[in-house]
Chain A
């Protein structure tokens, strides 16, 4: 079984011709990639399509991965580029959307999103929904910090920012998340307390 191997060992196996070993990498990173794409494209079907595309591209250009950074860092650059191309094709503005516009886009693109909220009052779904209402930049930095096990230095490197800028961006994103939860999920927050 290839699941016990680390990323670099799996990559070596794939590069030496054992293409099935790639399934180990897909299994390991599918949730990470899917969460990032979902937070950028805001729709499950599109996110799954983009995530698949990410893994296909990563396979095609695997020989270019030199192991200088973590595989997840390299994968992130593919996620980012693929999402940007996808959104460009869909003619969606991803950077200049203000919070309310994001709310409208998220609302219209995934109608089941808020409907589910009535049924799922759990802490988990509230956090996911609140992150879903944030701008892509905010959602991205929160996901990278909390879910990709990357340090602030690594996050700053992959986002092409200074460490202090990344730190400030993270602080602001969390503040905005807190505001989003208080504004849109006031009842749920109250219930949880």
Chain B
């Protein structure tokens, strides 16, 4: 086990040396080891050969018609507008603001419901567990929230289909 670790350690240090990632101090140490230690020297020539093979290997080439095929395909296409140009930043900020407001409202409501008069002896977790959220998180509110979500979903779906219809007509 120890021998395997040492071997791996030698290889890792030598790869760093070959890649030129060793520190100046490490470089000096390895250079000295390569002159004096036969195991290091043998391993170094082994790794150096693999490195040279990899460096000298060429990239694979596709068929001769490759560029022509790609150009024929793109001739029928249009470049899509950049994502940032059609995602309205105000919508993202609006969503962020909505969630921040919800969070702040819950926190303010929670803190206002806590009974601070009981003194320090009562743990904060006890106080949190005593907060009554049922006033807002009851069936009526949750149902109303779900209805709004469904409506928004339908509006978005309608928007999506009308865009598709327009695109289809344009292509036709």
Contact = CB atoms under 8 A, between A and B. Distances in A.
B62 A177 contact: no
Contacts of A124: 56-58
A26 B53 contact: no
A63 to B, nearest CB: 4
Interface residues of A, number: 44
A180 to B, nearest CB: 11
Which of under 10, 10 to 19, 20 to 34, or 35 or more describes the interface residues of B? Answer: 35 or more
Interface string B72-99: 0111011111110100000000000000
A48 B60 CA distance: 11
B60 A128 contact: yes
27 contacts: A19-B75, A20-B71, A22-B70, A22-B71, A23-B70, A26-B66, A26-B70, A26-B71, A30-B62, A31-B59, A34-B66, A35-B60, A48-B63, A51-B66, A52-B66, A55-B70, A61-B79, A62-B79, A64-B80, A126-B53, A127-B54, A128-B60, A147-B57, A171-B15, A174-B54, A177-B54, A181-B50
A44 B73 CA distance: 20
Interface of A: 14-15, 19-20, 22-23, 26-27, 30-32, 34-35, 38, 47-48, 51-52, 55-56, 59-64, 123-124, 126-128, 142, 146-147, 152, 167-168, 170-171, 174-175, 177-178, 181
Given A19-B75, A32-B59, A35-B60, A60 B80 contact: yes
Chain A interface helix/strand/loop/mixed: helix
Given A31-B61, A127-B54, A128-B57, A61 B80 contact: yes
Nearest to B55: A146
A131 to B, nearest CB: 8
A177 B71 contact: no
Nearest to B83: A64
Given A31-B58, A171-B12, 20 more contacts: A19-B75, A22-B71, A23-B70, A52-B66, A52-B69, A56-B70, A56-B74, A56-B77, A61-B79, A61-B80, A63-B80, A63-B85, A64-B82, A127-B53, A142-B54, A146-B57, A152-B19, A174-B50, A177-B54, A178-B50
B11 A35 contact: no
A34 B73 contact: no
B46 interface: yes
A171 B79 contact: no
Contact of B62 (A51, A56, A63, A142): A51
A31 B70 contact: no
A31 B8 CA distance: 33
Contact of A152 (B21, B70, B82): B21
Contacts of A23: 67, 70-71
Given A63-B80, A178-B46, A30 B66 contact: yes
A56 B80 CA distance: 12
B108 to A, nearest CB: 39
Contacts of A38: 60
A31 B70 CA distance: 14
B80 A52 contact: no
Nearest to B73: A56
A146 to B, nearest CB: 5
B56 A123 contact: yes
A183 B84 CA distance: 51
A30 B77 contact: no
